[in-house]
Amino acid sequence: MKSFLIKLVTSVFIGAFFSAWVVQNVNLRELATYPIDFTLIGLAIALSAAALHLRAFRWQKLLLPFIPLTYWQVFKALLVGHAMNVVLPARLGELFRVNLCKKWYALSRSVALATLIWERIADGVTVVSCLIIGALSMNSLSHHEEVVGLIFIGTPLFFGTLFIFFLLRRHSLAHLLRNWPKLLARVLPFQKGVQEVPLSTLMGTIGLSLCVWTLEGLSLWAIVRGIGIALTLLQTLLLVGVVSLSTLLPSPPGFLGTLQFAFGISLLSAGCSAATGVLAATLTQIFIFGCLAVTGMLLLGWTALKKPRLDVHT
């Protein structure tokens, strides 16, 4: 409970900080002047849903060495986990998904966590690459300190985590942690999960991640196009990188504040006003995150009413 309260307070503080940036830099009355093309908003929802299905397929491949779950079983846990990321602060939906795997499928939390960490690494490497390439669309990086900061933070973070992940595949921690048996008992199952996923599967998920973020990028492009702004390829890549990395910050439910800031600085770099970024972020929260949260919560409620036993497919 104490840990949850700390995360809650931190996320609210960060959300308030970025919301203050919005209030200071955006003329909120300007938001009402932009027409909204709801056909393109619908397209954005469809593209985001397609990306979610592809994420489920990717996760199923990662879980296959440990448990032969059906696609529907994997999709249920992933959908609810992503919905809880929207509903709960500080991305606690990831831990919720780990616990669901334990409850529904008797899958070790350490193994589930290992697969989720690889997902985040694959996604992180992809979006940081998008950010670096997208930065080429800016005339002068010196005038965009926020983007430069994200590049300098995100690049070592994800590529460093990638290095540690592969280090764990080759070297056991048993000797290093021999004097801390309780910690060793927790870490070794996680390391086993890291080691037992075939290298070919890990590399395959990188390719699937490129497909996932192609769909996510098209979804973001459609949202922005829906308010009358046509982004170039490089500008869209920049938007993907900044928006994705912003969701890693501990933030209030719905990524309130942090998402507005991410869209705002991205569209400012494209020569648009910060107000367009705030509007695009709000549309994303209402229509994409909103649909995700409602669908996931309904699925969780429906599953709870069924009161299933361990649903392991053999």
pLDDT mean by block of 10 residues, the chain; 314 residues: 65 73 72 88 98 97 93 96 89 90 91 92 93 80 68 83 86 81 81 85 91 97 96 94 87 88 90 90 96 95 72 48
Q: What is the pLDDT of residues 148-158, one digit of tens each?
A: 777 778 888 88
On whether residue 147 sits in a domain, the answer given is yes
Helix (H) or strand (E) holding 313: none
- Specify the number of domains making up the chain: 1
End-to-end CA distance of the chain: 36
DSSP state letter for 230 = -
pLDDT of residue 157: 82
Which pLDDT belongs to residue 314?
42
Q: Residue 24: inside a domain, yes or no? A: no
How many of the other CB atoms lie within 10 Å of CB of 12? 18
In 108-261, where do the E strands start and end? none
Domain that holds residue 201: 50-306
Q: Give domain status of residue 297, yes or no.
A: yes
Residue 39 lies in a domain: no
Output the pTM of the full model. Answer: 0.89
Residues 187, 193, 199: CA angle, nearest 5 degrees: 135
Give the H/E segment covering residue 198: none
Q: Helix (H, G, I), strand (E, B), or coil: what is residue 169? A: helix
Helix axes 2-25, 274-283, angle to 10 degrees: 140
Q: Is residue 237 part of a domain?
A: yes
Does 6 map to a domain?
A: no
pLDDT value at position 183? 80
Contact 219, 47 (CB under 8 A): yes
Q: Is residue 116 part of a domain?
A: yes
Supply the pLDDT for residue 297.
Answer: 94
pLDDT tens per residue across span 36-67: 999 999 999 999 999 999 999 999 999 999 99
Distance CA 268, CA 276 (A): 9
Quick one: tokens of 146? 């926020």
- Give the chain's count of helices (H) and strands (E): 12, 0
Distance CA 99, CA 5 (A): 19
Query: Is residue 44 assigned to a domain?
Result: no
